[in-house]
Amino acid sequence: MRLLLYAGKGGVGKTSIAAATGLIIARQGLKTIVLSLDPAHSLSDAFDLDRSLMDKNRGKPIRVAERLWIQELDIYEEIEKNWGEVHKYISILLNTSGIEDILAEELAILPGMEEISALLYVNRYVKQKLYDVIILDCAPTAESIRFVSLPKTLEWYMKKVFSLERRIARMMRPVAKRISDIPLPEDEYFQAIERLFNRLQGVDRLLTDQALTSVRLVTNAEKMVLRETQRAFMFFSLHQLSVDAVIINRIFEDDPSSGFLGTWHKSQKEYMDLVHSYFHPIPIFSVPFYQTEVVGPEKLLKLGENLYKGKNPCDIFYEHRPYEFVSENHRHTIRLHLPFVGKDEIDLVKVGEELVIRIGNFKRNIILPRTFVSLEPKKARLEKDYLTIDFGGNNEQEERGNHC
């Protein structure tokens, strides 16, 4: 079984690529589902499905080809199914406060509810082996990060805060009516949250299981998009998810008959070189800019064939963790997998949140997690294809750079 995440900035074409991947895999004979976490909900548009059909389906999986299902989360349906007691309590609160009905329904959706609903599906689909391959069409980067960090946050919340809140509610319930017109939540509310949490158990292990889960970063050959792709790369690594491919979408192919495209072609070629220095040694795939919108199974399949060129999308394209961040006992270390790099002098320069590594002709830029931004690289060593960089001290030397 495989769990494949397609992630990237809004508008790069994640949905089309996730959909195309689903078609390719289903044709191999594997039972596949593409689950969209993007609130923009364009998965059904990619398959050119009738919108009203999708709306009537209310967020359940819908079959679009042999062995292929797609699913767009409907947050209102999820709330009814999973958040009944929680939603009921919030609605009571909202109703006692004179917020108009029409807004109350929108406001009772708390941040995180969509991500938790998606995690519940992932957990269930994997554990009940309902599909051979689960493809996630992720939300734009910021929400995707929340998605992968939620299991950890929730575990912490349940262990620490939840039980305290529950006990306080139990102790205060008899007297609360005297001090406020707001009712305290009943214990059913806490029971519902507990049940929900139990259904999430183990999902963080699934996401960080390298044999099961791979993240593919989708990007375009444009300055603004590449910056966010670098940042996503850092975040997924920080949360110990494996990125095993970078997909550059919408590459203008050379067309000497048109000056317009010629100029774009040249600029994209420059960015392609940058992509290699940002993401090496992760394999890089590319997809041409098509002459028409990629809508409908036929065009999606063509996109998929062009993207994978006979390779199997279920393969693990890169087996190593490209980088790991370790902070223990006030020691902060970054460990990078850098095969094929000679034993030249290692040159490190930190500029703002970015670390530039030069080893001979090789150059690599990485964006640092927040804890590292105020530190300086102190010592670097290359051993058996791994570069280990120790950080320490403060950033007084930042402006001069730091050469090891």
Interacting residues with a copy of itself between 230 and 249 (CB under 8 A): 238-239
- According to CB under 8 A, which residues from 6 to 25 bind a copy of itself? 9-12, 15
**What is the rounded distance in angstroms from the CA atom of residue 95 to the CA atom of residue 103?**
11
String marking each residue 356-395 x if it binds a copy of itself according to CB under 8 A: -------------xxx------------------------
- Per CB under 8 A, does 397 bind a copy of itself? no
Furthest CA-CA distance within the chain? 80
3-state class (DSSP) for residue 403: coil
Residue with Cβ nearer a copy of itself (125 or 242): 242
- 3-state percent breakdown (helix, strand, coil) of the chain, nearest 5: 45, 25, 30
Among 49, 65, 93, 316, binds a copy of itself (CB under 8 A): 93
Stretch that binds a copy of itself, among 148-156, 195-203, 208-216, 307-315 (CB under 8 A): 148-156
String marking each residue 95-114 x if it binds a copy of itself according to CB under 8 A: -xx-xxxxx-xxx---xx--
Instruction: Give the DSSP per-residue string, 341-398.
Output: --S--EEEEEETTEEEEEETTEEEEEEPPHHHHTSEEEEEEEETTEEEEEEES-STTG
Among 49, 261, 301, 314, binds a copy of itself (CB under 8 A): 261
- Helix locations, 180-296, DSSP H: 187-200, 203-207, 223-238, 259-279
Q: What's the closest the beta carbon of residue 238 comes to a copy of itself, in angstroms?
A: 7
- Looking up tokens 């990619």 gives 46
- Per CB under 8 A, does 174 bind a copy of itself? no
Nearest to 196 by CA among 83, 88, 74: 83
Among 314, 354, 362, 402, binds a copy of itself (CB under 8 A): 354
Q: What's the closest the beta carbon of residue 314 comes to a copy of itself, in angstroms?
A: 26
- Per CB under 8 A, does 211 bind a copy of itself? no
Stretch that binds a copy of itself, among 21-29, 122-130, 254-262, 310-318 (CB under 8 A): 254-262
Helix axes 163-179, 187-200, angle to 10 degrees: 160
Spatial strand order of the sheet with 346-351 comes to: 346-351, 354-359, 362-367
Among 124, 171, 202, 311, binds a copy of itself (CB under 8 A): 171
Spatial strand order of the sheet with 386-392 comes to: 323-328, 331-337, 386-392, 376-383
- According to CB under 8 A, which residues from 297 to 316 bind a copy of itself? none
